[in-house]
Amino acid sequence: MLRKIFMISSVIILCSSMAQARPAQDEELVNLQDEIKAYNLVNGLYLEAGQMEFILRAAEDAQAKKKTLESRFENDCELQKRALSELKDELRENKGEVSADIARQVHMNTTQNKKLQKEYRDFLKSKAQAVQAILNESQLFALQNFKPCLVPPKGAARIGQDDSGERLADFLERVRGIPDARYAQRKSVIAERYVQRVSEHLPEIAEDDITRIKNTLLLTLDNVRRLSDVDFMMEKETIARELKEKTLPPRRAFSVEESISRFLLQPGIIAVLKEKLARENTCRKI
């Protein structure tokens, strides 16, 4: 009995994980952000027309496959709802053992759910491997080190890698320039905003971590404000790197295949590639 209930709970978790989404955001805003990140990536890879056409077809195939599997998944979820409704009725009547038919249906839906997820992963992997084969070493290196952001930092390649260490050093320099009286009034607000920015990169953040990050930041800020201009200029990169290591979540390294799947086979890339190909075709005709 317990085993069957655990199996049913597993399916509920699987269904909810497939349907999970980020907190509600303006759809047009999200699409604009995705397209900007896609432009940063495509501009930085310097793709040839043939490469863009190949990636475009792969991305379209990936999205078509995803829609097909999502439709099948929705159908499976409807079957699961019926099975769970029947289970609820049986539990309400408290007859003891769950019927074999309901248990079998739950098991079938669990298995089918896992098959759909594996089918999509395998399909995406095959498309990513095909795309990897047409990219040169420089493009693969740039892609693997790509970190999506809206505005590339000054002096960085247009692919959009985000140098958080450099930004932290600039942040420390700005804080040093705040007058003492204003800094004393605003330091807690500065710490709150910093934690808010850090939390954007984490699914959740514990209260103990919030306190630790704030204390680490404020101690660092107090220390850098006491340094002479010469000492700060000599040490700011080291201080920024240490602050980053102590307060920012580590960046997970992705394989080339994962990077291709995440960035070159996502929906936002399709419109960008179509536009760039259309421009190239127009230029050839002129």
Tell me: do 139 and 274 sit in the same domain.
Answer: yes
- CA–CA dist 264, 268 (Å, integer): 9
Look up residue 146 and give its DSSP letter.
Answer: -
Task: Identify whether 153 is part of a domain.
Answer: no
Confidence at residue 73, expressed as pLDDT on a 0 to 100 scale: 78
Give the tokens for residue 215.
């204390």
Is residue 269 within 8 A of residue 52, CB to CB? The reply is no
- Considering the domain architecture, whether residues 206 and 101 belong to the same structural domain is answered as no
CA 42/CA 143 separation, integer angstroms: 10
Q: Which among 3, 275, 265, 243 is positioned nearest to 125, based on CA atoms?
A: 265
Q: In this structure, are 222 and 269 located in the same domain?
A: no
Q: How far apart are CA 144 and CA 138, in angstroms?
A: 10
Domain that holds residue 103: 2-15+26-147+255-285
In a domain, 115, yes or no: yes
Tell me how many domains the chain contains. Answer: 2
- 272 contacts 32 by C-beta, under 8 angstroms: no
154 domain-assigned: no
* Judgement on whether residues 137 and 267 belong to the same structural domain of the protein: yes
20 assigned to some structural domain: no
Q: What is the pLDDT of residue 19?
A: 42
Cα separation, 173 vs 226, whole angstroms: 12
- Whether residues 126 and 31 share a domain: the answer is yes
For residues 232 and 280, membership in a common domain is answered with no
Residues 173 and 125 in one domain: no
31 and 123 both lie in a single domain: yes
What residues have CB less than 8 Å from 209, skipping those under 6 apart? none
Whole-angstrom distance, CA of residue 225 vs CA of residue 239: 12
142 lies in the same domain as 263: yes
Q: Do residues 230 and 259 share a domain?
A: no
Residue 210 has a pLDDT of 86
Alpha-carbon distance of 98 to 5, in angstroms, equals: 9
Q: Does 183 lie in the same domain as 135?
A: no
Q: Mean pLDDT by 10-residue block, N- to C-terminus, for the chain (286 residues)?
A: 43 42 59 82 90 96 90 77 78 73 75 84 94 93 78 52 69 92 92 83 72 92 92 91 82 78 89 90 72
